[in-house]
Structure 1
Amino acid sequence: MLYLEILGNLPEMARDEVRAMLELAGGEIVGQDYLFLKIDADEKSFHYLNRLGLAHEYGELIVEADSIEELLEKAGEVEWPIKGTFKVDTETMANCRFNVLDLPRKLGAVIHAQGFKVNLSKPDTLVRVYCGERLYAGIRLKFFDPKDFEKRKAHHRPFFRPISLHPRVSRALVNLTKAKREILDPFMGAGGILMEAGLIGLKVYGVDIKPEMVEGAEMNLRHYGIKDYELKLGDATKLEELFPNKRFEAIATDPPYGTSATLAGRKRDELYRKALESMYNVLKPGGRLAIAFPADFDGRTEAERIGFKLLARYYQRVHKSLERYFYVFERP
C-alpha cells in the first residue's frame, strides 16, 4: 500500500492527475483524507507516479490508526523497512484531529527500540506521519522538489515570454491526457507544455502561428535536453493540413486569452471553436484533450457540439482579471 500527498492549490485536478497515472499503472486510489491519498499499487506504478506535477511526495504506507496510542502500538508490531539512519517528521494537515506535538519523539523511540539509529540532521530514511481525520505513518520514497519545477518557470528559460502556465500545471495537463508515447500542443507558444511532456519521455509535436515562437520553443526544448520533437509554423485551426496523415494519441494546450495581436487578428471565440474542430479531427478515437479556456468561454458546450465528451473541469482564479477552467475531453 502506498500513500501520496497532493498539492492544495488545485486539489481536484491533482487527485485526478494521480488517478490518470494509476489507470496507466494498474493501481487505484482507495481512500482520501484531505490532501492525503491512500493508494493500492506497487512499485510497478513508480514509473508513472514519478511523472506527477501537482504532488508533494509519495511513499510506502506502513501504519494507520484512529488514535496516537493505536498508532504507537501498531508501529511496535511491524517491521520497518528502514535503510540506515532515520528521522520522524510530522505533517499536520488542516483537518488534523490529534495533538501530535510530541509524536515524532514517541514514534522515534518505538522505531529506535527495533535497533534503528536516529539522525535528525541527515537521515537515510524519512518516516512521515500525517495527521488528518486519522493518523498515518509511512516511509517517504519520492519527494517532488519544488526547485525542479521553479527552475523551468518562464523567466528562467532562454526564450522568455511572461505569459505561461506554471510548469507543475503544464505537467498535470499532460498527465491528464494519459499520454504514453506522444503529445501535440497546437498553441505551443514558448513551449512550456512541450518541455514538461518531453522531460517525462514523450515525443512532442508543437504548432504556432508566429515564426519567433517556433524558433524560441525549439531553443527552450534544446536547453532542457529534449531531442524528440517536431515543431511547425502554422495555424491551430488547420491541423489536418499540417499533419495530413497523422492522428495523435493526446493533445494538451493553453490557447491565448487576449488581444487581437496575440490572436493574429482573429476573434477569440471563433478561434477557439475552429481550433477545437481541428483538434477533434486529428485526435485518435479514445484520445484525450486537456485544454485551458477563460471562464467567460463555454468550453463544454462548444466541445460537446463538435463531438467531444467532457471528462472533467477545474476552476482556477489567476488574478482579478483572469479566471479560467481547465477541461479534459475525450474523443469517443
Structure 2
Amino acid sequence: MRKLYVEILGNLPEMARDEVKAMLELGGGEVLGQDYLFLKVGAPERALPFLDRLGLAHEYGELFVEADSVDDLLQKAKEMEWPIRGTFKVDTETMANCRFNVLDLPRKLGAVIHSQGFRVNLSRPDTVVRVYCGEKLYAGIRLRFFDPKDFERRKAHHRPFFRPISLHPRVSRALVNLTKAQRELLDPMMGAGGILIEAGLLGLKVYGVDIRPEMVEGAERNLRHYGVKDYELRLGDATRLEEVFPGKEFEAVATDPPYGTAATLAGRRREDLYRKVLESVYRVLRPGGRLAIAFPASFDGKAEAERRGFITLGRYYQRVHKSLERYFYVFEKRT
C-alpha cells in the first residue's frame, strides 16, 4: 500500500471527502485521516486510475513526511532519499487551521533536497514537492494536479448547445463518482447533458433521457463536441423509465432534476414529479446500484427515497443563491 495524500476542494468538503472514499473503495484503498482539506490515504497502485477521476479535488500525490514541528519535518526530510525526477521546487499550502510558521519553510526544505544533488527550477520544475500546514505538517510529491481550466472549458456557456442552468462540471463529475459507476450511467433528466459529458469522459457508456426533443438533440451535440462516442439518448419520460428502456437494468444513475418552471416540469407539480422519478429509478436500478441526485432543500429527499426502498448513504447541503438551497443525495437500492 502506498501512502498518498489528496487535497480536496473547500466548497463541498463532505461531498469531496466521500467522493474520494468512493473511488478508494473501487481501488482497494482507504482514507486514513483528515486534517482540514488534507486527506491521508493508503492505496495500492491499482487505485490511482480511480483517483484520476476525481472532480472535487485540487490534487493528489505521494506522502513522505508527517511532522509535529518545522524542525521535525526538516530532520525527517534529511533522513530520507527523495525520489525526485529532474528538477524540483517546493510549494507550501497554508490551510486555514495551520499552527506553524512556515514562511521560510520552502527555502529550508528546498536546501535539504538540493543537498542531495537535485537542481531547483522555480518556473518549470519536473517535480513539485508539496508541504501542507494544518494541525500537523506534511510533505509529499505531487502526482496529479486537476487543472481548473479543464473543467472551466466544459461549463455551460462553452458548450455548443447552451442552457444557463447547469451544474458545474466538477460537481457533475463528483455525482458520477459517488455512484461508483464502472461501466455505465443513466441520467433520466439529462437536460443539456452535463452529467453525461463527465461520465463519458471517464470512459463510461452513458444513457440519457429527456421529455423535450430539443434537449435530446442538444445533448447529443454537446456529447459529440467533447468527444463522447458511447451513448444512447432517448426521448422519454423519467417517470416511466422501464418503458423507455424495456428490460434494461442500470448499474448507476445520476441526475439533476429541474427545480421549477412549467416548461421544465412538463406541466407537473414539482414534488409529484420527484416522487415518481424516485419510483421509476428504483425499478430500473440493479440491486446494490447507486443513485446520486439533487433536490431543492424544501423537498425531503431522504424521507421520500427511503419510503421507496432506498438506503441513504450521503446528504450534502449547498446554498446556490438566496432563492435556491439544495441537497445532493447518494442513495443505494437494497440488495
State the TM-score bracket (shorter-chain normalisation). over 0.9
Residue 262 of structure 1 deviates from its aligned partner by: 1.2
Output the CA distance in 2 between the equivalents of 1:224 and 1:324.
Answer: 28
Q: Is the 8 A contact 1:2 1:42 kept in 2?
A: no
Matched with 1:329 is: 331
Say if 2:321 is the partner of 1:313.
no
Deviations 1:135-186 (A, max 9, x none): 0000001000000000000000000000000000000000000000000000
Deviations 1:271-320 (A, max 9, x none): 11111100000000000000000000011111111101111100000000
Matched with 1:66 is: 68
Deviations 1:1-42 (A, max 9, x none): 001100000000000000000000000000100000000013
Q: Is the 8 A contact 1:12 1:314 kept in 2?
A: yes
Structure 1 outlier segments of 4+, above 4 Å:
none
Q: How do residues 242-321 of structure 1 correspond to structure 2 at under 5 angstroms?
A: 242-321=244-323
Matched with 1:197 is: 199
Output the CA distance in 2 between the equivalents of 1:51 and 1:256.
Answer: 26
Q: Is the 8 A contact 1:89 1:127 kept in 2?
A: yes
Q: Is the 8 A contact 1:190 1:217 kept in 2?
A: yes
Q: 1:36 aligns with which of 38, 42, 51?
A: 38
Output the CA distance in 2 between the equivalents of 1:310 and 1:42.
Answer: 28
Residue 43 of structure 1 deviates from its aligned partner by: 2.4
Matched with 2:129 is: 127
Residue 44 of structure 1 deviates from its aligned partner by: 1.4
Output the CA distance in 2 between the equivalents of 1:63 and 1:155.
Answer: 42
Output the CA distance in 2 between the equivalents of 1:275 and 1:294.
Answer: 15
Deviations 1:172-205 (A, max 9, x none): 0000000000000000000000000000000000
Query: Which amino acid letter does the alignment assign opposite residue 31 of structure 2?
Result: I
2:84 partner SS: coil
Matched with 2:22 is: 20
Q: How do residues 185-264 of structure 1 correspond to structure 2 at under 5 angstroms?
A: 185-264=187-266
Query: Which amino acid letter does the alignment assign opposite residue 304 of structure 2?
Result: E
- What 5-or-longer segments of structure 2 have no aligned partner? none
Matched with 1:137 is: 139
Say if 2:179 is the partner of 1:173.
no
TM-score (norm 2): 0.99
2:328 partner SS: strand
2:79 partner SS: coil
Output the CA distance in 2 between the equivalents of 1:63 and 1:298.
Answer: 44
- What 5-or-longer segments of structure 1 have no aligned partner? none
Output the CA distance in 1 between the equivalents of 2:303 and 2:129.
Answer: 47
Output the CA distance in 2 between the equivalents of 1:99 and 1:212.
Answer: 57
Query: Which amino acid letter does the alignment assign opposite residue 212 of structure 1?
Result: E
Query: Which amino acid letter does the alignment assign opposite residue 47 of structure 2?
Result: S
Matched with 2:151 is: 149
Identity %: 82
**How many equivalent pairs are there?**
332
Residue 50 of structure 1 deviates from its aligned partner by: 0.4
Output the CA distance in 2 between the equivalents of 1:47 and 1:261.
Answer: 40
Matched with 1:96 is: 98
Output the CA distance in 2 between the equivalents of 1:46 and 1:135.
Answer: 24
Q: Over aligned residues, Cα RMSD in angstroms?
A: 0.5
